[in-house]
Structure 1
Amino acid sequence: MSRHFTLFHAPQSRSTGTLVLVHELKADYTLHVLNMKAGEQRQPEYLAVNPMGKVPAVLHDGALVTEQVAVYLYLADLYPEAGLAPAIGDPLRGPYLRWMAFYGSSFEPALCDRAMKHAPTPPSMCPWGDWDTMLKTITDQLEKGPYLLGEKFTAADVLWGTALTWITAFGLIPKTPAIAAYIERIQARPAYIAATAKDAELVAAQNLPA
């Protein structure tokens, strides 16, 4: 089975983290770039790929993968030699899946509610509980450092590190010393530097504001 895949990507979007991941994996892929300013993500051609009109999406050997966390999990498992996904049977596999799922099921929904200034939902009715407990859960883990699984760097750190970069830049959560140090570690990696440089090229090509 070929491991070549197509990554549907838009610069200056959440799929930038996936671009960092494929650089970490040294993956064999084709980049299909969407211009979100031109609304290409809402055109029939892309809606046939992902009816939600969201990026990233991956097409590999006839298998379509959407949803950000699913894309990370799929690609990290597709390239096991990169060591970014603890294997089944590894004691770190469970914690790895935990922090991957926590991002998509708790952190991001809570963040969106917070950013939109939605009234708090009673914790008994809210999938992510309450804001303070949710945020403390992840910040406590980051304070243990240097990565989410201790000394082992994984795809979960690509997800969280790239997300926290823009989240703190917009002031949506405080940039505590632990979060700042974590972001700096991720941004110092060659894959992050290469991927963000590529994204800057794509921004320029689309005449998007930097």
Structure 2
Amino acid sequence: MLTLYHAPRSRSTRILQLIRDMGIEEDVDLRIVQIPRQDGSGGRDPDNPHPEGKVPLLDHDGAIIRESNAVMLYLTDLYPETPMGRPVGHPSRGAYLSWLAWYGNVFEPVYVLQVAGISHPITQVTFRDVPEAVARLSEALAEKDWLVDDQVSAADLLVASTYGWFRDLVPEDPRIRDWVARCLSRPAVTSVIEEEMAR
């Protein structure tokens, strides 16, 4: 059995969007938990097994998977027939893995540092910066509509989710803007957001 520990309007929202996009909602038991919020609300939930009290966390018959990119990879590998992943042996598998890892290793950190107003030579050397991340996206989208290949993937939902939360950070580059619009207008994405905003 698959169990997703989820807090509405959080990083686990993109996992719920992926699950809906993959058409596997009936296979997933959704457990709503509380998490500490940036505005000081919420708190650690004793029913949340995540060791840091965060979300998402996926439990598959006792196998625990945490971190958005790991959860997305796990789900798309578990359901290789859905088009949101790229299974082992697929020509785009390397690109798919790279974009999933890039999100957590580069993209989110540089945006968090920018929003926090932190700049330091060590972070610049380690993660680079937002302009370099934007250039990487622009380059990837120069000849195709999606990051990995000519079809949408979980990597698109993951990377674009940052711009879903911070619309004012969407770069002026028309290729990126069009890609963000394509990602955020997917029915699975919009329906989850609408449901969570109505809570």
Common topology (TM > 0.5): yes
Alpha-carbon separation, structure 2, partners of 1:129 and 1:193 = 32
- Residue of structure 1 in register with 2:156 after alignment: 157
Verify the 8 A CA contact 2:171 2:177 in the aligned structure 1. no
SS of the aligned residue for 1:82 comes to coil
Verify the 8 A CA contact 2:34 2:42 in the aligned structure 1. yes
Pair 1:117 & 2:114 matched: no
- Cα deviation for residue 189 of structure 1 reads 2.0
- Residue of structure 2 in register with 1:129 after alignment: 128
Q: Which amino acid aligns with 2:95?
A: P
- Residue of structure 1 in register with 2:68 after alignment: 68
Deviations 1:140-191 (A, max 9, x none): 2133331112312111111122222223x2x335343222211221233222
Alpha-carbon separation, structure 1, partners of 2:72 and 2:92 = 16
Verify the 8 A CA contact 1:84 1:154 in the aligned structure 2. yes
Q: TM-score, normalised by structure 2?
A: 0.87
Q: Which amino acid aligns with 2:177?
A: A
**Count of equivalent residues:** 193
Verify the 8 A CA contact 2:108 2:162 in the aligned structure 1. no
Q: 5+ residue gaps in structure 1?
A: 205-210
- Residue of structure 2 in register with 1:39 after alignment: 42
- Cα deviation for residue 139 of structure 1 reads 2.6
Q: Which amino acid aligns with 2:197?
A: A
CA-based RMSD of the aligned residues comes to 2.0
SS of the aligned residue for 1:65 comes to strand
- Residue of structure 2 in register with 1:97 after alignment: 97
Alpha-carbon separation, structure 2, partners of 1:134 and 1:156 = 15
Q: Which amino acid aligns with 1:192?
A: V
Q: Which has the higher contact order (CA 8 A, sep 6+)?
A: 1
Verify the 8 A CA contact 2:17 2:189 in the aligned structure 1. yes
- Residue of structure 2 in register with 1:197 after alignment: 194
Q: TM-score, normalised by structure 1?
A: 0.83
SS of the aligned residue for 1:127 comes to helix
Deviations 1:10-53 (A, max 9, x none): 1111111111100011111111112346524x13332xx11211
Q: 5+ residue gaps in structure 2?
A: none
- Residue of structure 2 in register with 1:147 after alignment: 146
Alpha-carbon separation, structure 1, partners of 2:155 and 2:192 = 17
- Percent of counterpart pairs with the same letter? 34
Verify the 8 A CA contact 1:20 1:195 in the aligned structure 2. yes
- Cα deviation for residue 95 of structure 1 reads 0.5
Alpha-carbon separation, structure 1, partners of 2:9 and 2:143 = 30
Between 1:96-105 and 1:113-122, the stretch displaced more is: 113-122
